[in-house]
Structure 1
Amino acid sequence: MEPLYKHGIQMAEFLQQTLGGFEKSMLFMSWIGDPRTSFFIYFPVTYYLNRKIGISVLWITVLTEWLNLVFKWLLFGERPFWWIHESGVYSKHQMPKLQQFFCSCETGPGSPSGHAMITAAAWWLMMTSFSTFIYNRTRSTLARNIPVVLYIALLLTIGISRIFILAHFPHQVLAGIITGAVLGFLLGQRIPENLKLIQYVVTSVVLLLSAMCLYWGLHYFGVNVAWTILLATKWCANPEWIRLDTRPFSSLSRDAGAILGLGIGLSSPLYASTLGWKMTWKMKVVCIVLCELIIEIMDQVPMPKYSTILFYVLCYLKNAFVPILVTAIMPWLVHSIFQIQPTKKQQ
């Protein structure tokens, strides 16, 4: 593996030298591939464009991120880019420019890349759905392939950005893209439908307990799966740059919370009342804008750092609220407001 790591470092050096003037663009592309973006942006937008696709995007995102966490723990020997300091083969003078983002970006093991894997899986469903939509409207094979080309191009750009900002080695990005695309293909047609609330609750609990059992099981056999956090702490110039929301248990809280929230939202009376309503494009746009505004405000609220357990509990609850907001609260609220407007005009 040593030659593979060294070639990866050389590629990262090449990208930073070649694309040095595109630092902001690389950071933006990395943000596009952030798993949080799939939860907070792709899910709400796709849900209001097509309810079934939106729910499927959330399911795929949750399952893929959970699997990514498990893969990283099982592949505990795979090194993140912090290894470059330990190896002594990387010139440190190229590091400070992106050190803050690098240290706050990934605190879990490096392979496979979560950004690449989760985004590839969620986008697979979005890409195939969009491709089918275009073909049904145009009957053009050429036009049908446009989403496929965009899918590949954007994933490659995200992968390059992850290497550029020193978050992953190239083979870790490639592993994430391939694994994510395969999972998107396999899971896209197997999304559970018409589940009862208790089934969502059980799924949330299973996601939490199974991952925690794996964690403590590995710990029992002497495997410290949190070794990358210690390594990040060692090499990060400022410990405050290492955020709790980048740690593996944060993603686990997000996954379990999102599934519970989805179950509550789809089982709520508010959701049931919206099933017979017709949402106009204007109403859908208002729902998307208001949801994103509320999610952004909620995401900016400082989380407590004095208690790790409290942080994870609040992270769980926050991510449980998002699907409830998207599937039940916002559609009911917007539809009610639009229904009141004609009455006021008549008066």
Structure 2
Amino acid sequence: METVYTQGIWMAERLQQRTMSQENMWQLVTHIGDPKAAFLLVFPFTYFISKRAGVAVLWVAAISEWLNLVFKWMLFGERPYWWIAESRLFINNQPNIHQFSSTCETGPGSPSGHAMVTAAVWWVVVSSLGSYLHSRTHSVMLSAAPYLLYVVMLVAVGISRIFILAHFPHQVIAGSITGFILGIFLSRRVPEGRPLLFFFSLSVGLLLGTVMLHAGLRQLGIDLSWSIALAKKWCSRAEWVRLDSAPFSSLTRDCGALLGLGLAQYWKPGGWPLRLAPRALSLAISSMGLYHVNRLPLPVRPPGLFYGLFFVKFVMVPQVVMVLVPGLVHLVTHRRRND
């Protein structure tokens, strides 16, 4: 693997040297590819166009990110920004590379979560859009356009992850392929209309099962916090190492979103009947609401409190998008029509 890692470092150096003037663009692309964006941006946007597609996006995002966490714990992938120093292969020939504010993620590196979740979630979006265009226009060119954009997006997200030294190229490729397969598989098994007990059991089962896996591996002498220690040791700035990028943050986000999805479908199984204009208004209000929910400061000490509040935060995401905001908009617009 040393050869693969070394070639990845030199590729990152060339990429930074040739495209450093596009730093802001790569930073934006990596934020768009952040798994968190699937919950806070892609989900509400998709839901107010197609309720089933929106539910599918949330479902696929949660399961694919959870699987990515498990894969990372099993594969122990390095990250470029710490491997450069830890490998001691570059003492006499230091690469000219830079870290950025989004570089210092704390989980293992393989496979790339950004690439994997992006590939899975956006497959739901583009396949739905492609099917819609084909049924409306019967044009092969138009129906193929979303899939072309899908490939362009995956390539852009992958390059952005290499550029900021968060991943090696092979980790991005592995994440993209795995996410693509998961997107196809999970989008055909969307739990729309399932009882609340299903989502409660799934959320608790994934949470407890993952915690037990973590404890079991520790009993075997496998330290799963090794990557966090390396992140803190080799990140250029201490403030770039954030608790919300830790593996357990991903876990609580996924389990919270799944429980929230079940609660939302329990409160309002069929959703609120909204026309085009109220849907657009609901999307705007939901986006603003989720923006402020995401910006709520959480105490980082003790970590258990942080993870508990992080879980609650993402339980609220489906409530805001599927129940609270559409219900409020429906109430206001319905009253106006009656007046």
In the alignment, what sits opposite 1:294? 289
In the alignment, what sits opposite 1:85? 85
Show the 5 A alignment for 1:1-347: 1-76=1-76, 78-81=77-80, 82-90=82-90, 94-95=96-97, 97-103=98-104, 106-268=105-267, 271-272=268-269, 275=271, 278-343=273-338, 346=339
Contact 2:193 2:265 in 1 (8 A): no
Secondary structure in structure 2 of the residue aligned to 1:279? coil
Secondary structure in structure 2 of the residue aligned to 1:278? coil
1:199-255 superposed Cα distances (whole Å, 9 cap, x missing partner): 111111011011111111111111111101000111123322211000000000000
Displacement of 1:192: 2.1
Contact 2:10 2:95 in 1 (8 A): no
1:121-142 superposed Cα distances (whole Å, 9 cap, x missing partner): 0011111111011111111111
TM-score under structure 2 length normalisation? 0.96
Q: 1:17–1:89: structure 2 CA closer, same or farther, 3 Å change rule?
A: farther
1: CA distance, partners of 2:94 / 2:327: 54
Secondary structure in structure 2 of the residue aligned to 1:160? helix
TM-score under structure 1 length normalisation? 0.94
2: CA distance, partners of 1:132 / 1:101: 35
Q: 1:220–1:187: structure 2 CA closer, same or farther, 3 Å change rule?
A: same
Displacement of 1:87: 1.7
1:293-332 superposed Cα distances (whole Å, 9 cap, x missing partner): 0111111121102210000000000000011111111111
Secondary structure in structure 1 of the residue aligned to 2:193? coil
Displacement of 1:52: 0.7
Q: Report the more deviating stretch, 80-89 or 45-54.
A: 80-89
2: CA distance, partners of 1:193 / 1:291: 21
Secondary structure in structure 1 of the residue aligned to 2:257? helix
Matched letter for residue 294 of structure 1? G
2: CA distance, partners of 1:314 / 1:323: 16
1: CA distance, partners of 2:297 / 2:317: 17
Secondary structure in structure 1 of the residue aligned to 2:308? helix
2: CA distance, partners of 1:279 / 1:147: 26
Secondary structure in structure 1 of the residue aligned to 2:279? helix
Secondary structure in structure 2 of the residue aligned to 1:94? coil
Contact 1:99 1:236 in 2 (8 A): no
1: CA distance, partners of 2:187 / 2:324: 26
Q: Report the more deviating stretch, 216-225 or 21-30.
A: 216-225
Displacement of 1:93: 6.9
Matched letter for residue 33 of structure 2? G
Displacement of 1:89: 3.6
1:71-110 superposed Cα distances (whole Å, 9 cap, x missing partner): 000112x211211111234566734x4343312xx21000
Query: Where do 4+ consecutive residues of structure 1 move more than 6 Å?
Result: none
Q: Please, what is the CA RMSD of the aligned residues?
A: 1.4
Matched letter for residue 215 of structure 1? H
2: CA distance, partners of 1:278 / 1:193: 17
Contact 1:113 1:173 in 2 (8 A): yes
Secondary structure in structure 2 of the residue aligned to 1:289? helix
Secondary structure in structure 1 of the residue aligned to 2:102? helix
2: CA distance, partners of 1:60 / 1:157: 21
- Which residues of structure 2 form unaligned runs of 5+? none
1: CA distance, partners of 2:158 / 2:72: 17
Matched letter for residue 302 of structure 1? P
